[in-house]
Amino acid sequence: MKTRSLVSLIVVIACAFGSVPVFASDDDSRGGDDRSKLKGIIESMPSSGFVGDWTVSGKTVHVTSATRIEQEEGQAEAGAFIEAKGTFRSDGSFDATKIEVKRRGEDEGEMHFKGTIESLPLSGLIGDWRVGGRTVRVTVATRIEAEIGPVTVGAFVEVEGAMQGDGVFLASEIEVKSNVAGGDGHDELKGTIESLPSSGLIGDWTVSGRTVHVSDSTKINQEHGAVAVGAQVEVHGQLRTDGSLDARRIEVKPSASDDRGSSANFKGTIEALPSSGLVGDWTISGKTVHVSDSTRIKQEHGQVAVGVRVKVKGRRLADGSINAQMIQVRDSR
């Protein structure tokens, strides 16, 4: 009963954050029926081979020579997202009978959020960060992308990972989304309007938790919809040191009911490409992605090829396929 209560508590916490639970069980009360499941990110493994104790999203996972390890969708290594099957011990650790490496995409148990860095470890980047009011744990397996600007207090970042039972968010990837220094004058924020000035549009807005300062010189484009609470917007301007944004231009983005489809933003692995060239239909993590001459393809981190992980931005059509506006190679693996 102790194990069942622990799993139930973790499920409640994870659901409160809109995430798929990290730990789950089909029927924990059955004992050794190997029906329990654990999903998470590999943090550490034995120094030699697979046999021994792994750490997966803060949990100890016992792996033996009898444990079946499937690596069809990736390598079992630190930072990989896995699903383990087996049984929980009374101490909360997990005896694994099967471990399967999963793609880390929008449907594989990970969640993501955006926020402003409020504090960092005293030395280096490994350790606990404070981002948007949440504790974010960064390990040696966490991928940190700082192309747009440096990792520093006040920078706006997107965090991907999994919520742990103690309320800490274990980060698999952190990407700086805007440069706190604001030196290039091209800081950008995309989000939902949460509040507006009581009278008119001049004043402070709240967009996805960020304060946006709007003046009479701010250009506001309402071609795709009216400014209102709940509307999706893209803000261009310059960040202040406190993380707020002085807006030069604000554009209301099309709503999900727009006949051109809702916005799509996901990461996945290329599974198929057109027989000739890059224009045509791609398959990325099971999704059909339409690529045209106007699609921006960024290959700074590697070349487009089957098996390469990419980030896609575009518009989702009624049939579930996606018209790609931008595709960025994430790595060359």
Q: What is the pLDDT of residues 86-100, one digit of tens each?
A: 888 888 888 999 999
Q: Are residues 281 and 215 in the same domain?
A: no
**Which one has a higher pLDDT value, 284 or 261?**
284
Asked if the model's pLDDT at residue 200 lies above 90, the reply is no
Whether residue 211 lies inside any domain: the answer is yes
Give pLDDT tens digits for 134-147. Answer: 889 898 888 898 87
The more confident residue out of 246 and 259 is 246
What local confidence, expressed as pLDDT, does residue 204 receive? 94
Please report, as a single letter, which amino acid is at residue 178: S
Q: Which of 91-100, 106-115, 165-174, 309-318 has the lowest mean pLDDT?
A: 106-115
Question: Are 6 and 96 within one domain?
Answer: yes
pLDDT over threshold 90, residue 64: yes
Same structural domain, 233 and 291: no
Q: Where are the alpha helices (DSSP H) in the chain?
A: 2-16
What is the number of other CB atoms lying within 10 angstroms of the CB of residue 121?
11
Give one word for 280, left, alpha or beta, with left for phi > 0 and alpha for psi -120 to 50: left
98's tokens: 């099967």
Residues 50 and 78 in one domain: yes
Q: In whole angstroms, what is the distance from residue 289 CA to residue 291 CA? A: 6
In order of 173, 222, 249, 284, the CA distances from 314 in angstroms are 21, 20, 21, 13
Residues 98 and 6 in one domain: yes
Is residue 276 a part of any domain in this protein? Answer: yes
| CB half-sphere exposure, 313, CA atoms < 13 A | 9
- pLDDT of res. 320: 77
CA-closest candidate to residue 82, choices 97, 93, 71: 71
**What DSSP line would sit under 94-147, residue for residue?**
EEEEEEEEE--STTTT-EEEEEEEEE--SSSSSEEEEETTEEEEE-TT-EEE-S
268 belongs to a structural domain: yes
Which one-letter DSSP state was computed for residue 223? T
Final residue in a domain of this structure, among 102, 120, 155: 102
Query: What are the E-state strand segments in 22-80?
Result: 23-25, 36-44, 52-56, 59-63, 68-70
User: Are residues 231 and 149 part of one domain?
Assistant: no
Distance from C-alpha of 18 to C-alpha of 151, rounded to nearest angstrom: 26
In terms of domains, do 272 and 311 share one? yes
Is residue 120 predicted with pLDDT exceeding 70?
A: yes
**Could you tell me if 148 and 84 lie in one domain?**
no
Q: How far apart are CA 118 and CA 129, in angstroms?
A: 8
Same-domain check for residues 289 and 222: no
Same domain, 167 and 215: no
Same domain, 202 and 135: no
Contact 129, 136 (CB under 8 A): yes
Torsion of CA 11, 16, 17, 22, to 10 degrees: 0
**Number of compact structural domains in the chain:** 4
Which of 178, 197, 221 is where one domain is finished? 178
Q: Is residue 317 part of a domain?
A: yes
- The CATH number linked to 92 is 2.40.50.320
Q: Is residue 29 included in any domain, yes or no?
A: yes
What percent helix, strand, coil does the chain show, rounded to 5? 5, 50, 45
Residue 93 lies in a domain: yes
| Residues 85/96, Cβ–Cβ less than 8 Å | yes
- The per-residue pLDDT for range 304-331, each reduced to its tens digit, is 999 888 888 887 776 778 888 889 887 6
Tell me, what CATH number does 222's domain have?
2.40.50.140
Does residue 133 register a pLDDT over 90?
no
* 229, part of any domain: yes
The boundaries of the domain holding residue 41 are 2-102
Q: Which residues of 303-315 are buried (b: 16+ CB within 10 A; e: fewer)?
A: ebeeebbbbbbbb
Report CA-CA distances (Å) from 207 to 29, 112, 176, 216, 315: 45, 17, 18, 18, 21
Using DSSP's 3-state secondary structure scheme, residue 17 falls into coil
Sequence length of the chain is 333
pTM score: 0.35
With CA atoms as reference, report the closest residue to 40 among 8, 76, 5, 4. Answer: 76
If asked whether residues 304 and 235 sit together in one domain, one would say no
Residue 257 lies in a domain: no
